Amino acid sequence: MRTKLGALICIAVLAGCTTAQNFSAPGLDPIPGSITYGGQPRTKLTKSPVGSSFPHDFIDQYGQQVEETYVIQPDRSLKIAHREIRPIRFHD
């Protein structure tokens, strides 16, 4: 009984580990300046492999530096997988 319970726990933990790397979450909502703000781009990324990612940097409406990472989905749409926002610092 104890061995079966241990095996079930191990299987559950391993199943959670393998799905954690999957980009199946809905992603982040686009903000002004995002490539997908206002909808998906009209041109499709046909030469890039599905699952590949690329960065996009811009300054948002509040003057903060935004770095986003996009992942190409199987239907060639883009999903924001990561966003980092940093204030712009000016030096004297």
**Domain range spanning residue 30?**
26-87
Token pair recorded at residue 92: 């004297």
Kindly state whether residue 2 falls inside one of the protein's structural domains.
no
Q: What's the number of domains the chain is made of?
A: 1
3-state secondary structure of 24: coil
Per-residue pLDDT of the chain (92 residues), as tens digits, is: 555 544 445 454 444 443 333 344 567 999 999 999 999 998 888 889 999 999 999 999 999 999 999 999 999 999 999 999 988 877 75
- pTM of this structure: 0.67
Q: Is residue 46 part of a domain?
A: yes
Distances in Å between the Cα of 23 and the Cα atoms of 27, 28, 29, 51, 61 are 8, 12, 15, 8, 28
